[in-house]
Structure 1
């Protein structure tokens, strides 16, 4: 492993093909959460060098396209958003992935097309033989990446993986070589196996070891980064070119700005006051309702509201009530009465 004890911060910008990611802090694609409203909130705070959509089912995209239906909700906002922006897709058929990748490049002008080889959810793995299931089939991974790279050129293609399917079958080093040999422009590694889901701690030593198995492409580490201090530690201690923040940002979209300041050697901004956090959540709610309407928007916002309250005094009481709202009036009333205050 490279001696990183003397590594100087801030780290240089991350290059994914010709795409400049500065700062090298990426927002993870998270199903059900990282839609256009959430991405806008993160963008307003700043600090993320590359944002990503929710993962898109490539086969579902093709079906909608063939039936002249509206493209997936998960692509809401993509065409108009500031760049750089990544879209993550998943499936196990190289031809389907290539077809969708080309549409994303031609019609949506995305900056990066990312492949999900890390999702551990049973509906994706055991039922669809996709996501982290494909870690047991490196040859199939190679075919998917190779065809997608050819279809998307010159737009870079990246891959996100886990350490392996199970703790006794960790094959991330082998998979990393396959990813690079197939033509991917970067590799993101979540430091758990699919078997772990999100239990235990991410193994950053294992992530760091992968770097020696790559020749030229950057390595991005992911897992348990829930503070600016941990982001700084990741760059100081481990051989990574970038980091990806996931679940910790869902109720704290200002985390990226805090991490970016820390990497620049500046004072880390304090968390917003509870009143400011409440106002941020209400802004988020209005963005969702503007897109999906009051009924669907209110239902979608329940889970976000729980994230904003997480870890605060009275959060459980707030969650109990906000989980039952179905109208905007009910949402505002519950926030007014139960959201934690300063």
Structure 2
């Protein structure tokens, strides 16, 4: 396919060849070791599958919940961890712990989270507005990870809102400070996940940052979306978040598309049922059966999106409690139902635009490098 032309090139991030150039975006409560393994089983083991966002302070203080969240599967390589922080000192110390204890092979830095509990601390999508502080934090992580050969990448948004755009400066600064790649979620923090991603911003970032790979993120809900993003923006790869919710086989479709092969047809409901059961088994192995199957409940609507499944069976699946019950319920699904055309529509949270909650006086001086008040310990976003 002609639209696969740009995407057929693998990415080089540090010592790792990312082929195809596809990254699973970290998503709170989603991209644990079970979901990452499921995505890898469908896609390429050479793509990147990033764990949930981890706070630097929680790593330094060895918060027990955070230390469980940075569990990686046997044979999971490269191990990709997303790190969040607002303080260069704690960021450097967290990176030193991660690489010194061989806990990850790749560190991705989060400067894109739009949720109020993060931005009100000056973190996530708020932080790139403070250009010098942003520079210091990226530099701290890169220098701490460098001796172990662990590459650092940086992900950010277009800006805080339409009046405070930060992405071009952020991309240049990250590349200057040694980031191995940058990724742009083509929305502002104020948009959150609403509206449409502005892919033209990805193209402008690609023009501005020429010495490291530029990845695009936002509204990739199918393999054809990914090909179109690469063709329209010239980006070097794609980051996929909400598009794979309830659809881990998307990574197989992306692999085929990026290699110029025919994109496989979507699975029939019987195949979806098998994947759903496999997801339940993996979650039970990771979290224990009780907690794991309860965690699976939130995935049900995504797996069944667009299929004509009766309301009673949907309700039962949404309240499933054991693997035996799960196996019984998925056995009641009609295995021959074809994959619905509507499944390529947006999935996951969308919501509405909202004012970004910032620390008092945050917008007064973009050159102010003062570290905000202590960052939150809450990992996961």
Whether TM-score is above 0.5 comes out as yes
- Alignment of 1:113 with 2:117, yes or no, is no
**Structure 1 residues 323-332 or 289-298, which shifts more?**
323-332
- The answer (yes or no) to whether the contact 2:4–2:258 under 8 Å persists in 1 is no
Name the stretch that deviates more: 48-57 or 246-255.
Answer: 48-57
- Correspondence for 2:83 among 81, 89, 96: 89
Name whichever of 48-57 and 69-78 sits farther off: 69-78
Change (3 A) 1:71 1:175: closer
Return the match for 2:92 from 86, 91, 98: 98
Deviations along 1:133-168, one digit per CA (max 9) or x if unpaired, are 212212111111101101001211111000001122
Offset of 1:313 from its aligned partner? Answer: 2.1
The 8 Å contact of residues 192 and 202 in structure 1, kept in 2 or not, is answered as yes
Please state if 1:296 is matched with 2:291: yes
Q: Note if contact 1:278-1:339 (Cα within 8 Å) is conserved in structure 2.
A: no
Would the aligned equivalents of 1:118 and 1:161 in 2 still touch at CA under 8 Å? yes
Verify the 8 A CA contact 1:19 1:111 in the aligned structure 2.
no
Aligned counterpart, 2:344: none
C-alpha distance after superposition, 1:80-129 (max 9, x if no partner): 33322310011211111111112222323522101100011112221x33
Q: Considering only aligned residues, what root-mean-square deviation do their CA atoms show, in Å? A: 2.2
Aligned match of 1:202 in 194, 197, 206? Answer: 197
- Is structure 2 residue 133 aligned with structure 1 residue 140? yes
Task: Report the CA distance between 1:312 and its aligned residue.
Answer: 2.2
TM-score, L = length of structure 1: 0.90
Q: TM-score, normalised by structure 2?
A: 0.81
How far residue 340 of structure 1 moved from its aligned partner, in angstroms, is 7.8
Matches within 5 A, 1:1-342: 8-47=5-44, 49-64=47-62, 69=64, 72-77=67-72, 80-126=74-120, 128-153=121-146, 154-314=149-309, 318-337=313-332, 342=337
**Inter-CA distance 135–340: structure 2 relative to 1 (3 Å threshold):** farther
Contact 1:29 / 1:55 at 8 angstroms: preserved in 2?
yes
Query: Does 8-17 or 278-287 show the bigger shift?
Result: 8-17
Structure 2: how far apart are the matches of 1:239 and 1:92? 31
Q: Tell me by how many angstroms 1:244 deviates.
A: 0.9
What is the alpha-carbon distance in structure 1 between the residues aligned to residue 204 and residue 314 of structure 2? 41
How far off is 1:341 after superposition?
6.0
Q: Secondary structure at the match of 2:23?
A: strand
Q: What is the SS of the residue equivalent to 1:311?
A: coil
Please name the residue that 2:372 is paired with. none
Measure how far apart 1:326 and its partner are. Answer: 3.5
Which ranges of structure 2 fall in alignment gaps of 5 or more residues?
Answer: 338-381
Distance 1:202 1:130 in 2: 21
Whether the 8 Å contact between 1:53 and 1:86 is mirrored in structure 2 is: yes
Aligned with 1:140: secondary structure? helix
Task: Note closer, same or farther for the CA distance 1:315–1:122 as it changes in structure 2 (3 Å cut).
Answer: farther
Residues 213 and 54 from structure 1, CA distance in 2 versus in 1: closer, same or farther, beyond 3 angstroms?
same
SS in structure 2 of the partner of residue 216 of structure 1: coil
